C-alpha cells in the first residue's frame, strides 16, 4: 500500500503510565475511505490509541501519521479535517442543539455555518430538536447530536469511540445506517472502537484486534471469521480476548509473531 | 442524506479568530440568556459595596479622612471586585468545561491553547463588566457615587487589576486541571490570600516590614496605592502604574506557563478526555 492510500499510519506506538504499559509498540495502517474497527476487551488500549490519534494524549514512543501529517506535532494542520465522537465526552447541557453546533462550526472554521447546520440537522433528524437545550434530550437524541457535531466539518477522518453504546437497537441501527451513507457520500475514513460485533461485521472493511496493548491479529471480518473457523465476529473476539490464538489459526498475526 | 457541496473552511488568522469567537459564543450563550447568572455575578459586588457605603455614611461625620474622600471605600471595593471578577472569569470559564465534560471535544478540535486562553480572557472582561458594572450602577443609584469620578486613571487601575486577575485565574485553571475538580475551591479562595497585602482599604505602610516586601511584589498593591493618591492628592502616580504593569507582565507569563504545564501534564496522563464531574 502506498503512503497516499493510507489515511492513518501508526508505527511502534507505545504509551506507558509509570510502570504500566498501556500500549506496547503497536503498528497498523488504515486505508483511505475504509471503515476499520479497533477491537479488544476493556483495557486493551483502544481509547488510548484513539486519544493519541487525536493528539490529546502524548505517545511515549512511536510515530503517527494522519492524512500525511505527523501527529501530534502537526495537529493544527490535520485536526480541521478530523472529528470524533465518544460517550465519554459531552456537550454543554444548557446550550441548545443549534447553539452547540454553532460553537463547533466556529471551532472548525466553517464558512457557511447556518447552511451546514441545517444540512446535518436534516441528515441526523434533528430539525425538531435544534431549539431545545442539549441537556433536555434523551440518550438517543444526544447521540444523534454528538454525531451531527462529529460530521459538521465533513471530516476526512472520523474516529468513533463506541458510537452506539447504550443505544436501543432502533437508534443504533439508524446511527449505523447514517454512518454508512455518510461514508459512501464523503469517502471519509472511519476508525471505530466498538464492543458491538454485529456492528463491526456490518460496517467494517478491516479489523485490528488489540489485547493488553498489543495488536494480536488483523484482517477483514469475513477473513478473520474464516481463519478462526467461526461463525461470527463475536466468536472470533472471544477466541482472541481469551488468548485462544496462534496455535490453531494459520496465518494469524499472533502466529506469525511467535513463529 | 443531502448532497450538498463540500464544506468550505476558513484557514489561517481568520480561522483562529473564529475559534476565539467560538469560545465567546459558548460561554456568552450560557451567561446572556440566564438572568440568574447575571444577577449572581452582580450580587456579591453590589452587596459588599452597600456594606462599605453604609460604613462610610456612619463614619464620615466624625472622620476627616472620609470627609475628604467620601467615595474611598466604595471605590476600593469596586476596584477590588475588578480583580476578583477578572480572576473568577478565567477560572469559572474553565470549570464550566469540566462540569460539561466538554474539554475533550474542544481539544480534539483545531482549537489551540493560546486561542482557548484568549477566549477565557475575553469572557473574563465580559464577566467583570457585568458584575462590577451592576455594582457601579447601584452605587450611583443608591449613594450618588460614580466610579467615573476617578477620571482617566480609572482605566489604568481597571486594566492592571484585570490583568492580575487573569494571571491568577490562569494559574488556578492549571491547578484544577492538574488536581481535578476537587481543587475547585482554590478558584474561589485564591484571591483572598492576596487581599491583606493588596492595601485595598489601608496603605501598604501599615503592614509589618516583611509583609510590605511581599505587598510591593504584587501588582494590586501598586494599583491601590495609586488609587489613594488619585483620590486624596489628585495625582496620578505613574511610578505605581508602571510598576504594576511590569509586575503584571511577569505574573501573566507565569500564570500562562502554569496552565500550559498543566495541559502538557494532562496530555501526558490522558486526562483531557476524562475530566469532568
CB contact under 8 A, A103 and B22: yes
Query: Do the domain assignments include residue B2?
Result: no
Kindly indicate the confidence band of residue B92, based on its pLDDT and cuts at 50, 70 and 90.
very high
pLDDT of B1: 38
B184-202: average pLDDT: 92
pLDDT of B187: 86
Do A206 and A219 contact (CB within 8 A), yes or no?
A: yes
pLDDT of B271: 87
Chain A hits for B270, CB-CB cut-off 8 Å, are 15, 17, 48, 51, 56-57
Higher pLDDT, B61 or B169: B169
Which of A50-54, A71-75, B150-154, B226-230 comes out lowest in average pLDDT?
B150-154
pLDDT of A43: 87
Kindly indicate the confidence band of residue B3, based on its pLDDT and cuts at 50, 70 and 90.
very low
pLDDT of B121: 96
Kindly indicate the confidence band of residue A252, based on its pLDDT and cuts at 50, 70 and 90.
low
Nearest residue in chain B measured CA to CA from A149: B105
pLDDT of A2: 61
Query: Do the domain assignments include residue B253?
Result: yes
CB contact under 8 A, B102 and A102: no
Higher pLDDT, B29 or A258: B29
Cα dihedral A89, B275, A51, B13 sign: positive
pLDDT of B69: 82
Q: How far A234 CA sits from the closest chain B CA (Å)?
A: 28
CB contact under 8 A, A108 and B112: no
What DSSP state is assigned to residue B7? P
What does the mean pLDDT of chain A come to?
A: 90
Higher pLDDT, A125 or B68: A125
- Tens of pLDDT along B234-246? 899 999 999 999 9
User: What are the extents of the domains in chain A?
Assistant: 3-258
In what order do the strands lie in the sheet containing A189-193? A82-85, A157-161, A189-193, A35-39, A206-211, A214-219
Give the span between the Cα atoms of A13 and A33, in whole angstroms: 23
- Find the largest Cα–Cα distance for chain B: 79
- Tens of pLDDT along B205-224? 999 999 999 999 999 999 99
B232-257: average pLDDT: 96
Query: Do the domain assignments include residue B225?
Result: yes
pLDDT of B32: 87
In percent, the amount of chain B with pLDDT more than 90 equals 78
Q: For domain A3-258, give its CATH number from 3.60.15.10, 3.40.190.10, 3.40.50.300, 3.40.50.12780.
A: 3.40.50.300
Do A91 and A100 contact (CB within 8 A), yes or no?
A: yes
Model confidence at A256: pLDDT above 50 = no
Q: Is A182 on the interface with B (CB under 8 A)?
A: yes
Do A141 and A128 contact (CB within 8 A), yes or no?
A: no
Kindly indicate the confidence band of residue A187, based on its pLDDT and cuts at 50, 70 and 90.
very high
- Tens of pLDDT along A61-98? 999 999 999 999 999 999 999 999 987 788 999 999 99
- Tens of pLDDT along A196-242? 999 999 999 999 999 999 999 999 999 999 999 999 999 999 988 88
B184-200: average pLDDT: 92
Query: Do the domain assignments include residue B276?
Result: no
Q: How many domains does chain B have?
A: 1
Model confidence at B7: pLDDT above 80 = yes
CB contact under 8 A, A93 and B108: no
Give the span between the Cα atoms of A140 and A137, in whole angstroms: 8
What does the mean pLDDT of chain B come to?
A: 92
A177-182: average pLDDT: 91
Q: Is A119 on the interface with B (CB under 8 A)?
A: yes
Query: Please, is B13 exposed, middle or buried when counting C-beta atoms within 10 Å of its C-beta (0-12, 13-18, 19+)?
Result: exposed
pLDDT of B17: 97
Closest CA to A46 of A200, A162, A206: A162
What distances in angstroms separate CA A179 from CA A152, A173, B52, one per listed residue?
13, 10, 62
Model confidence at A246: pLDDT above 70 = no
What distances in angstroms separate CA A13 from CA A9, A215, B108, B177, one per listed residue?
10, 11, 19, 26
Kindly indicate the confidence band of residue B2, based on its pLDDT and cuts at 50, 70 and 90.
very low
Q: Is A185 on the interface with B (CB under 8 A)?
A: yes
Give the span between the Cα atoms of A191 and A84, in whole angstroms: 10
Kindly indicate the confidence band of residue A250, based on its pLDDT and cuts at 50, 70 and 90.
low
Query: Do the domain assignments include residue B1?
Result: no
Cell reading at A249: 489459526
Structure-derived torsion over alpha carbons of residues A130, A136, A139, A140, reported in degrees to the nearest 10: -30
Model confidence at B86: pLDDT above 70 = yes
Taking the CB of residue B134, how many other CB atoms lie within 10 A of it? 18
Kindly indicate the confidence band of residue A153, based on its pLDDT and cuts at 50, 70 and 90.
very high
Angle, CA of B98, B104 and B107, to the nearest 5°? 115
Model confidence at A248: pLDDT above 80 = no
Q: Is B106 on the interface with A (CB under 8 A)?
A: yes
pLDDT of A204: 96
Model confidence at A174: pLDDT above 90 = no
Domain that holds residue B63: 20-269
Q: Is B38 on the interface with A (CB under 8 A)?
A: no
From the list B7, B101, B109, the residue facing A116 with the nearest CB is B7
Cell reading at B53: 457605603
Amino acid at each position: 500500500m502506498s503512503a497516499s492510500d493510507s489515511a492513518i499510519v501508526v508505527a511502534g506506538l507505545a504509551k506507558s503510565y509509570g510502570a504500566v504499559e498501556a500500549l506496547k509498540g503497536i503498528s497498523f495502517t488504515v486505508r483511505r475511505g475504509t471503515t476499520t474497527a479497533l477491537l479488544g476487551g476493556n483495557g486493551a488500549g483502544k481509547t488510548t490509541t484513539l486519544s493519541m490519534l487525536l493528539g490529546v494524549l502524548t505517545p511515549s514512543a512511536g510515530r503517527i501519521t494522519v492524512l500525511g501529517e505527523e501527529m501530534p506535532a502537526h495537529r493544527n494542520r490535520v485536526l480541521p479535517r478530523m472529528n470524533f465522537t465518544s460517550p465519554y465526552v459531552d456537550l454543554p447541557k444548557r446550550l441548545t442543539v443549534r447553539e452547540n453546533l454553532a460553537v463547533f462550526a466556529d471551532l472548525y472554521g466553517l464558512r457557511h455555518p447556518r447552511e451546514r447546520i441545517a444540512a446535518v440537522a436534516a441528515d441526523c433528524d434533528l430539525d425538531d430538536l435544534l431549539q431545545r437545550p442539549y441537556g433536555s434530550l434523551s440518550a438517543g437524541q444526544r447521540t444523534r447530536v454528538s454525531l451531527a457535531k462529529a460530521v459538521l466539518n465533513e471530516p476526512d477522518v472520523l474516529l468513533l469511540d463506541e458510537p452506539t453504546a447504550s443505544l436501543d437497537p432502533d437508534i443504533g441501527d439508524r446511527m449505523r445506517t447514517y454512518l454508512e451513507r455518510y461514508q459512501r457520500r464523503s469517502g471519509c475514513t472511519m476508525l471505530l472502537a466498538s464492543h458491538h460485533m454485529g456492528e463491526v461485521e456490518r460496517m467494517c472493511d478491516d479489523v485490528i484486534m488489540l489485547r493488553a496493548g498489543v495488536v494480536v491479529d488483523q484482517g477483514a471480518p469475513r477473513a478473520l471469521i474464516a481463519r478462526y473457523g467461526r461463525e461470527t465476529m463475536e466468536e472470533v473476539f472471544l477466541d482472541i480476548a481469551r488468548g485462544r490464538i496462534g496455535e490453531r489459526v494459520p496465518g494469524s498475526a499472533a502466529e506469525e509473531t511467535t513463529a | 442524506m443531502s448532497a450538498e457541496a463540500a464544506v468550505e473552511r476558513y484557514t489561517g488568522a481568520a480561522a483562529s479568530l473564529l475559534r476565539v469567537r467560538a469560545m465567546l459564543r459558548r460561554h456568552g450563550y450560557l451567561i446572556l440568556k440566564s438572568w440568574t447568572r447575571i444577577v449572581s455575578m452582580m450580587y456579591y459586588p453590589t452587596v459588599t459595596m452597600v456594606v462599605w457605603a453604609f460604613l462610610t455614611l456612619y463614619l464620615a461625620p466624625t472622620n476627616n479622612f472620609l470627609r475628604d474622600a467620601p467615595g474611598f471605600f466604595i471605590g476600593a471595593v469596586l476596584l477590588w471586585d475588578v480583580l476578583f471578577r477578572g480572576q473568577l472569569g478565567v477560572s469559572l470559564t474553565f470549570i464550566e468545561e469540566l462540569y460539561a465534560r466538554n474539554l475533550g471535544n474542544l481539544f480534539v478540535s483545531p482549537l489551540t491553547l493560546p486561542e482557548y486562553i484568549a477566549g477565557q480572557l475575553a469572557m473574563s472582561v465580559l464577566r467583570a463588566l457585568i458584575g462590577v458594572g451592576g455594582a457601579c450602577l447601584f452605587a450611583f443609584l443608591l449613594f450618588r457615587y460614580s466610579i467615573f469620578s476617578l477620571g482617566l486613571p480609572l482605566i489604568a487601575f481597571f486594566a492592571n487589576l484585570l490583568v492580575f486577575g487573569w494571571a491568577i485565574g490562569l494559574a488556578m485553571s492549571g491547578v484544577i486541571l492538574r488536581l481535578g475538580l476537587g481543587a475547585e475551591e482554590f478558584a474561589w479562595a485564591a484571591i483572598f490570600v492576596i487581599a491583606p497585602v493588596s492595601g485595598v482599604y489601608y496603605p501598604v505602610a501599615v503592614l509589618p516590614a516583611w509583609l510590605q516586601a511581599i505587598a510591593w511584589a504584587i501588582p494590586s498593591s501598586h494599583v491601590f496605592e495609586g488609587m489613594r493618591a488619585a483620590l486624596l492628592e489628585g495625582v496620578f502616580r505613574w511610578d505605581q502604574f508602571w510598576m504594576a504593569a511590569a509586575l503584571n507582565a511577569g505574573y501573566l507569563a507565569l500564570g500562562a506557563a502554569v496552565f500550559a504545564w498543566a495541559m502538557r501534564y494532562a496530555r501526558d496522563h490522558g486526562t483531557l478526555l476524562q475530566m469532568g464531574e
